[in-house]
Amino acid sequence: MMPLLFAVFHFAPAADPAPAKYARPEILAAAADILKPEQREKLRILDARAAEKYASGHVPGAVNVPLAVWAKAIIEGKADAAFWKAELAAVGVAPGKTAVVYAEDVRDAAKAWWFLHTAGVSEIRLLNGGWEGYVAAKGEVEKTPAKVTAEPHDWKLAPERVATKDDLLKLLKDGNATVVDARSDDEFTGEKLSSKRGGHVPGAAHLEWTDLLDAKTKEFKPAGELAKLIAERKIDISKSCVTYCQGGGRAAVMAFGLRLMGADDVRNYYRSWGEWGNDPDTPVVKPAK
């Protein structure tokens, strides 16, 4: 009987193993990557915290980026080639030099990461665990503002990273995109109102942005756990993906997470529910009570 049992066991279908690694590990940086001066010299480190936080102490050589200025330009449609040519030169971002962005709040770091991608910067990494992770790793801290500039460069903008309301309406009509709502449960169901209308975009999958992160370390969860979440929520990352929240920050974290796991085409609907939920003509789904 033993050979027969062995044969049956040998040919039984095996479950697909969870991925051991992220599809794009190169877009994440670890605190260990920037602890030594010789490591930091090869990078352009960007601090996406508020100016007063930066002034109280930052990674040596890090440049404070004007996140609010960048966000305003994106919202107002003024983040053109001339804007990014000046802004990126001012913070020392240049082709061929990898940038690493960090903040205390991963939403700010993810926004900076996404803004830079819309500007055409490809060599940009997000510091896993952020400022708190760096401090916990006993990283050196300085208070002297970094003074850096870079040769102005004509960046090739990547407007495909941005989704507008019209883009999303067309994608919904065509039915060829995965839409992901990164808000909380009660925002998704419409129980909590953050705009004139509550609910969600028709057909949107729901995955709250905090579910991507370890609650203690604030680092992104391992690849296997993220893959399980994505599968459970029926998020098809082989399609064009659009992420949204209320104002773009949580959606940026989700966009980063999907890229980390292998999604090729990810757009952030940056105006998000702040626009969609206040427009009486956009379609909204709100489950019946």
Mean pLDDT of 247-275: 97
Range of lowest pLDDT (1-10, 25-34, 91-100): 1-10
Coil, helix or strand for 94? Answer: coil
45 sits in which H/E element: strand 44-47
Asked if 268 and 252 count as a contact pair (C-beta separation under 8 A), the reply is yes
Reply yes or no on whether the pLDDT at 131 is more than 50.
yes
User: What is the CA 218 to chain-centroid distance, rounded?
Assistant: 14
Q: 126-156 in b/e burial notation, b at 16+ Cβ within 10 A? A: bbbbbbbbbeeeebeeeeeebebeeeebebe
Coil, helix or strand for 267? Answer: strand
Which one, of 151, 186, 204, 180, lies nearest residue 254 by Cα? Answer: 180
Per-residue CA distances from 137 to 31, 32, 170 (Å): 7, 7, 46
Residue with tokens 């060599």: 123
pLDDT category, 17, cuts 50, 70, 90?
low
pLDDT at 5: 37
The structure's pTM equals 0.92
pLDDT at 288: 63
pLDDT tens, residue by residue, 179-214: 999 999 999 999 999 999 999 999 999 999 999 999
DSSP 213: B
